[in-house]
Amino acid sequence: MPISPRERVQLAINHQEPDRVPIILGTSNTTGMKVRPYRGLKKMLGIESPERWLYDWPELGTIQPDEAVLRRLRSDARGVHDRFAAHVYERARLRPEHSPFIDDWGIGQSEIEPGVWFPGVHPMPEAKTLAEIENFPWPDMDDPSRVAHVQAEAARLAQENEFAIIGTPWLLFPLERAFALQGMDKFLLNMALEPEFAEALLKKIASLCKTLIGHFLDAAGDNLDIIKIGDDIGTQNSLLMSPKMYRRILKPIHADYIAHIKSKTKAKIFFHTDGDVFDLIPDFIEIGVDILNPIQTSAGKMSNLVELKKRFGEQLSFCGAVDTHHILPNGTPQQVRDEVRRVIEILAPGGGYLLSSVHTIAEEVPPENILAMVDAVE
């Protein structure tokens, strides 16, 4: 008897081999697609439908794929998302054309060329004191408009029982929120020179994240298979901070955050972090990460998939690993198929692998290569 996409994902994340490797595309910004390849894909497939944006946030630049596109891509999961508070969308709607999009953290994205937005507005770049944290106008995470739709959407997907259900709330990454509030260079400098301030800021952000994800999980109920969180900690060749600094400042915050989530749901913890984070994988496993994403194969030791599977494959599932730096944008369809097969041969045995691109499918990726990636799974 054929298994459903949801059963396929559940088998894989419980380290059993399904009939084929599950495909995870279009569920969040980390498994999503930019507008140019999406338009090319719809044109190639002859699909006509209005464009929608993930999180109803055009400035993010990531498409909410049409259901017909998701089915052609054989995506085995669907995402349930949060939203900004209603007043943020209303303010954005009324703002002057081409002016920065500012959210309720005071964080903003500026248009650097027509239709292309970059996160360049930081509301507390010079802050270094605990008083500045105390006096900052923090967003209201109890605003019900953020999750008003979650209960119905999660219940609908659960009732249909066709696709795996991934909760993908936005704005729940403590380190990345700190970067957005201060600028990456400023906050990393504060982690080194003002550790008391940096730790206090991370804890404040994490408390807000816990409030929002609590409301999100309460609304979703027992319907989620996976809940996505994360923080980008890696670079192309190393970490953004030393392992010692991570373990002293950020790891306890991640551990507390994951413990809070696990107290409210049985969903598997999907942790997103770009770059070469190989040296921290034992730490991620220790604090309760179940699925690691995006397995950036172009970054340092993360390219060694054989070692990843050998050392961590029994304790951790992997999502991603199809290269977006070189193969997807620049390879031929045959090179894409060859790479997909290589990745599957290494990561799929014994279960524990969900196929996806390494982060969002970028503007430069031709639609032929997207189809080659998913069709190679068969």
Q: Is 96 domain-assigned? A: no
pLDDT at 378: 87
pLDDT at 187: 97
362 bridge partner residues: none
* One-letter identity of residue 206: A
Give the residue from 253, 155, 168 showing the smallest Cα distance to 212.
168
Q: Is 225 domain-assigned? A: yes
Q: Is 101 domain-assigned? A: no
220 bridge partner residues: none
Q: Is 90 domain-assigned? A: no
Structure tokens of 99? Answer: 């002016």
* One-letter identity of residue 314: E
Alpha helices in 110-194 (DSSP H): 130-135, 150-160, 174-182, 184-193
Q: Is 294 domain-assigned? A: yes
pLDDT of 1 above 90:
no
* Torsion of the alpha carbons at 250, 255, 256 and 258, rounded to the nearest 10: 120
Domain limits for position 228: 5-85+138-376
pLDDT at 239: 96
Q: Give CA–CA dist 319/344, Å, rounded.
A: 11
**Could you read off the pLDDT of 266-299 as tens digits, one per residue?**
999 999 999 999 999 999 999 999 999 999 999 9
Please tell me the number of Cα atoms within 13 Å of 28 on its side-chain side.
Answer: 29
**Could you read off the pLDDT of 203-216 as tens digits, one per residue?**
999 999 999 999 99
Q: Is 109 domain-assigned? A: no
pLDDT at 38: 97
Give the residue from 117, 101, 119, 56 showing the smallest Cα distance to 83.
56
Q: Give CA–CA dist 108/59, Å, rounded.
A: 10
pLDDT of 188 above 90:
yes
Q: Is 293 domain-assigned? A: yes
Structure tokens of 20? Answer: 């084929």
Packing angle between helix 195-220 and helix 184-193, nearest 10 degrees? Answer: 120
Q: Give CA–CA dist 359/28, Å, rounded.
A: 10
How high does pLDDT run on average in the chain? Answer: 96
Residues 359 and 365: beta-carbon distance below 8 Å: no
Q: pTM for the complete prediction? A: 0.97
Q: Give CA–CA dist 252/375, Å, rounded.
A: 41
**Could you read off the pLDDT of 76-115 as tens digits, one per residue?**
999 999 999 999 999 999 999 999 999 999 999 999 998 8
Structure tokens of 212? Answer: 């929002």
- Residue found by looking up tokens 């014994």 in the block: 350
Using H for helix, E for strand and C for coil, what is the string for 6-75?
Answer: HHHHHHHHCCCCCCCCCECCCCCHHHCEEHHHHHHHHHHHCCCCCCCEHHHCHHHCEECCCHHHHHHCCC
**Could you read off the pLDDT of 24-43 as tens digits, one per residue?**
999 999 999 999 999 999 99
Of how many residues is the chain composed? 378
Q: Is 121 domain-assigned? A: no
Structure tokens of 198? Answer: 């940096």
Q: Is 140 exposed, middle or buried (0-12, 13-18, 19+ CB in 10 A)?
A: middle
- What is the count of structural domains for the chain? 1
CATH number of domain containing 225: 3.20.20.210
**Could you read off the pLDDT of 238-277 as tens digits, one per residue?**
999 999 999 999 999 999 999 999 999 999 999 999 999 9
| 312 confidence band (pLDDT: 50, 70, 90) | very high
Q: Is 345 exposed, middle or buried (0-12, 13-18, 19+ CB in 10 A)?
A: exposed
**Could you read off the pLDDT of 336-358 as tens digits, one per residue?**
999 999 999 999 999 999 999 99
**Which DSSP helix (H) or strand (E) runs through 204?**
helix 195-220
